[in-house]
């Protein structure tokens, strides 16, 4: 089969491309490198069945993303996803969640391909229902600092559903909960790369709030497997894809200190505005519809992620001018 993956140079997109190539498929990866890394493409470029197109999926406005030949599935993973980007890249995020999704849907329509949207647990905002089921409509501040991402992704879901209902496009929506693993970007502000870098450098781990807020972390290989299954099922309405084992941020910091053997201590800072206090997916629907559930336990996943960052940091220190 022939796949298009937007956001191919990103953390999850590059793992998805690698999985599809390993399964024997052809992949066209598209990315404008706004938050993606060349390093993530190096592992893909070695394969003759991989083609990379450096392109902003928002431009030219409302035109097709250029891809020659037949396409079976379009995975839309392009979008900055780190909270530190929500304010400085607010307009880019709103643009990619609107014009970018529209252009990518047009590509799927033109090719008669299945369209799969990478959505997010941020659609639930700071949830008043716990754990979060797909039927929950969310609790989002529409004008707060997180709104470009949260509302952008909600609008993207509306666009996808409207294209299915009005134009008959075969669409799928996966709502991703916090995902981690090798190839995350150092310094991208997300909690896991932050904690691991701080622990490996023996500097204090910064916990926002009192550390009692919870998250549920899914290893990237599990998440990618969920999306591959999603592309092959015929469920149109959103499905949560995440790990339902919940942990407090304080506990996570402690685990990372132990796994890295770090001398770091924990430092507390004020909780940012609208930060969700609880986050855990209800994955009953994914279990039933996709016959999927996460397989990687947190210690195994954290160890492989720590090894990745250890190598990246060692290379970075070796490359620094004396
Ligand atoms: N990682 C998570 O925990 C998580 C959670 C929920 C949802 N998601 C979603 O999954 C997708 C991938 O997230 P990620 O963690 O890999 O982030 P990432 O920043 O590593 O990857 C996003 C990629 O999209 C590219 N991109 C952004 N705007 C683009 C544009 N206009 N044109 C072309 N390429 C563009 C970036 O350069 C980057 O390579 C995103 O849509 C994100 O919203 C991720």
Please answer whether residues 56 and 35 qualify as being in contact, where contact means their C-beta atoms are separated by less than 8 angstroms: no
The percent of residues in the chain predicted with pLDDT above 70, rounded, is 98
Mean pLDDT over 288-313 rounds to 97
CB-neighbour burial class of residue 98 (10 A; exposed 0-12, middle 13-18, buried 19+): middle
CA distance 224 to 219: 9
Q: What separation in Å is there between the alpha carbon of 321 and the centre of ligand 1?
A: 32
Angle between helices 298-319 and 249-260 (to 10 degrees): 60
Q: Which CATH architecture has domain 191-214+245-279+296-319?
A: Alpha-Beta Complex (3.90)
CA distances, 22 to each of 18, 25, 220 (Å):
6, 7, 16
The percent of residues in the chain predicted with pLDDT above 90, rounded, is 89
Q: Where are the domains of the chain?
A: 2-180+219-241, 191-214+245-279+296-319
This prediction has a pTM of: 0.96
Domain 2-180+219-241 coded CATH 3.40.50.720: yes
Nearest CA to ligand 1 atom 12: 77
Q: Which residue among 5, 10, 193 is best mutated to probe the pocket of ligand 1, counting the most ligand atoms within 8 A of its Cβ?
A: 10
pLDDT per position as a tens digit, 190-238: 999 999 999 999 999 999 999 999 999 999 999 999 999 999 999 999 9
Tokens describing residue 112:
């008669």
pLDDT of residue 63: 67
Contacts of 288 (CB under 8 A, 6+ apart): none
Can you list the positions of beta strands (E) in 167-232?
171-176, 179-180, 205-208, 214-216, 218-219
Query: Model confidence at 274, in pLDDT bands (50, 70, 90)?
Result: confident
CA distance 251 to 246: 10
Helix/strand number for the chain, H first, E second: 10, 13
């Amino acid at each position: 089969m022939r796949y298009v993956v937007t956001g191919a140079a990103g953390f999850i997109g590059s793992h998805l491309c690698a999985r599809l190539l390993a399964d024997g498929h052809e992949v066209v990866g598209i990315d404008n490198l706004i938050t993606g890394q060349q390093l993530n493409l190096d592992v893909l470029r070695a394969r003759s069945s991989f083609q990379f197109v450096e392109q902003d999926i928002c431009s030219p406005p409302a035109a097709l993303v250029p891809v020659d030949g037949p396409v079976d599935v379009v995975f839309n993973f392009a979008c900055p996803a780190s909270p530190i980007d929500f304010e400085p890249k607010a307009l880019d995020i709103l643009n990619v969640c609107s014009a970018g999704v529209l252009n990518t849907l047009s590509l799927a329509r033109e090719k008669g391909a299945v369209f799969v949207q990478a959505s997010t647990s941020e659609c639930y905002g700071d949830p008043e229902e716990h754990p979060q089921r797909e039927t929950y409509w969310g609790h989002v501040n529409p004008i707060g600092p997180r709104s470009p991402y949260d509302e952008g992704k909600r609008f993207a879901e509306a666009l996808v559903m409207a294209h299915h209902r009005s134009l008959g496009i075969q669409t799928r929506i996966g709502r991703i909960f916090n995902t981690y693993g090798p190839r995350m970007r150092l310094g991208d502000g997300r909690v896991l790369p932050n904690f691991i870098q701080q622990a490996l450098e023996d500097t204090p781990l910064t916990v926002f709030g009192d550390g009692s807020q919870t998250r549920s972390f899914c290893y990237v290989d599990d998440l990618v497997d969920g999306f591959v299954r999603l592309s092959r099922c015929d469920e149109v309405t959103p499905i949560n894809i995440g790990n339902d084992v919940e942990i407090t941020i304080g506990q996570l910091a402690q685990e990372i200190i132990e796994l890295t053997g770090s001398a770091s201590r924990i430092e507390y800072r004020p909780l940012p505005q609208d930060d969700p206090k609880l986050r855990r997916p209800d994955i009953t629907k994914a279990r039933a519809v996709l016959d999927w559930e996460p397989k990687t336990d947190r210690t195994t996943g954290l160890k492989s992620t720590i090894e990745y960052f250890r190598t990246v940091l060692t290379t970075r220190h070796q490359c620094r001018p004396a």
